[in-house]
Chain A
Amino acid sequence: MRKEYLKTIKGMENQMLEMALKSEESIEKAMKSLISRDLELAKKVVDDDIIINNMEIQIEMDVIRLLTLENPVARDFRRVSSVFKIITDLERIGDLAVNIAKLSIEIGEEDFIKPLVDLPRMYEMVREMLSNSLKAFVENDMNLAIKVAEKDDIVDDLHLQINEELLQMISKNSEIINQAMKLMFISRYLERIADHVTNICERIIYIETNEVSKHEF
């Protein structure tokens, strides 16, 4: 029984989950700042991103250390190498949350060109996807991972829908183009976050099946 080794792997996974929680928080705060016009909150998201970046570096060093010294094989190896890839996605998610927060700051005190309904709805879906993907990782639930990945299509459709709507609004009233563009970007960022969550789900499936190919969901 390699006690220390197993503890190290578990510790590494826990660190990754902590990083995931931080990324989740970033998106939450960013969207909240957008909806409730809390510019202080948005600024906090931008400032706190460095924490997420440092966590990625730390976990990466731990993974490299474990791979070289402990020689994990089979499932252990898949777990550790997946952590290595997932932290990249999580760090990107953190960056995307920062992008949303920055746009929220730029929109500032402006009135919304339309009541925000779809964006919050999209955020809800993405939030649920991320939360469930982490649950699937912890519980080794491949089916849940598949279900989450399948939701990506719906998020993509929602993004197209929001785009359509905003483009139509712009064609009717060109003065709103500034904010409309920003809202379109926010929608795009949320869609990218969903893509990264799908990557995480791919990793979970790889751990279970040892297959690395891109899956069709």
Chain B
Amino acid sequence: MKTEEIVFDVKKLNLWYGENHALKDIEFKIMKNEITAIIGPSGCGKSTFVKTLNRMTDNVSIARTEGEVLYHGRNIFDEKLRVEELRTKVGMVFQKPNPFPKSIFENVVYGPRIHGIKDKKVLMEIAERSLKHAALWDEVKDRLNDNAYGLSGGQQQRLCIARCLAVEPEVILMDEPTSALDPIATNKIEDLIEDLKKEYTIVIVTHSMQQAARISDKTAFFLMGDLIEVDRTDVIFTNPRDQKTEDYITGRFG
């Protein structure tokens, strides 16, 4: 029996955007080397929750949090913890592909560069490894100095994934990574995600229940700031415990 390691242990997490109580008493464990999908109707807090895990919510001035989020036992809200360090361990890929207006190479090595790696050879190795990992190397190896904006949407998203992988995170957070892409690009990225699961822990927010059902091991259902239910994906989609979960996945609302 495989002992599962807890990567994130969320304890009574509450978050307010000003007066709006966006996350209510969230209790949740995210396990290593699993793909955890987060589903729920618009505005239910799923994006907010994921952004809390790498403290991107710090950038929102009216955001206020209470409760604990333990990353391998350490509370990420601890004052002594450097948020920049957290973000190298917990990376993020966004909904709309957002490469920098730089070359493909510069995009991938941005992370390592700002964390002090200067050696051109080392950077080249990192770039090659990350792009291969993101299933993009073959398509761009001959044009690493081209501007990233020349790539298609799906390629740009894979570039963003490569950029994220270059800092060697443990966790990859994905906020609706394929919602701006066509079905073929979506497929490629889903394959990539399933592949990445072997080495990384992945949390993916998705508005597509089929996507959650296809690729995730665990699924969490959020509704209006509450975590209604979290369980193995096959259980959620065949026989969920909560009636609200069932109503949502069968399209009774949302």
Known pairs A1-B253, A210-B238; A74 contacts B246 (CB<8 A)? yes
B246-A75 in contact (CB<8A): yes
A interface majority secondary structure: loop
| A185 CB–B CB distance under 8 Å | no
A77-B238 in contact (CB<8A): yes
* Chain A-chain B contacts (Cβ-Cβ < 8 Å), number: 29
* Residues in chain A near residue B252, CB distance under 8 A: 1-2
Complex Cα–Cα for A74 and B246 (A): 7
Complex Cα–Cα for A77 and B237 (A): 9
B253-A72 in contact (CB<8A): no
When C-beta atoms are compared, the residue in chain B nearest to A2 turns out to be B251
Least CB distance from B190 to A in Å reads: 16
* Residues in chain A near residue B246, CB distance under 8 A: 74-75
* Residues in chain B near residue A117, CB distance under 8 A: none
When C-beta atoms are compared, the residue in chain B nearest to A70 turns out to be B251
B253-A73 in contact (CB<8A): no
Contact count band on B: 10 to 19
Complex Cα–Cα for A71 and B237 (A): 11
* Residues in chain B near residue A1, CB distance under 8 A: 251-253
| B152 CB–A CB distance under 8 Å | no
* Residues in chain B near residue A75, CB distance under 8 A: 239, 246, 250
When C-beta atoms are compared, the residue in chain A nearest to B253 turns out to be A1
Q: Mark A67-81, 1 if CB is under 8 A from B, else 0.
A: 000011111110000
| B67 CB–A CB distance under 8 Å | no
B237-A74 in contact (CB<8A): yes
| B83 CB–A CB distance under 8 Å | no
Q: Mark B209-241, 1 if CB is under 8 A from A, else 0.
A: 110010000000000000000000000011110
* Residues in chain A near residue B210, CB distance under 8 A: 71
A5-B251 in contact (CB<8A): yes
| B249 CB–A CB distance under 8 Å | yes
Chain B residues with a Cβ under 8 A of chain A: 209-210, 213, 237-240, 246, 249-253
- Name 9 extra pairs, CB < 8 A, besides A2-B252, A75-B239: A2-B250, A73-B213, A73-B238, A73-B249, A74-B249, A76-B250, A77-B238, A210-B238, A210-B239
A-B contact pairs, 28 of them (CB 8 A): A1-B251, A1-B252, A1-B253, A2-B250, A2-B251, A2-B252, A5-B251, A71-B210, A72-B250, A73-B213, A73-B237, A73-B238, A73-B249, A73-B250, A74-B237, A74-B238, A74-B239, A74-B240, A74-B246, A74-B249, A74-B250, A75-B239, A75-B246, A75-B250, A76-B250, A77-B238, A210-B238, A210-B239
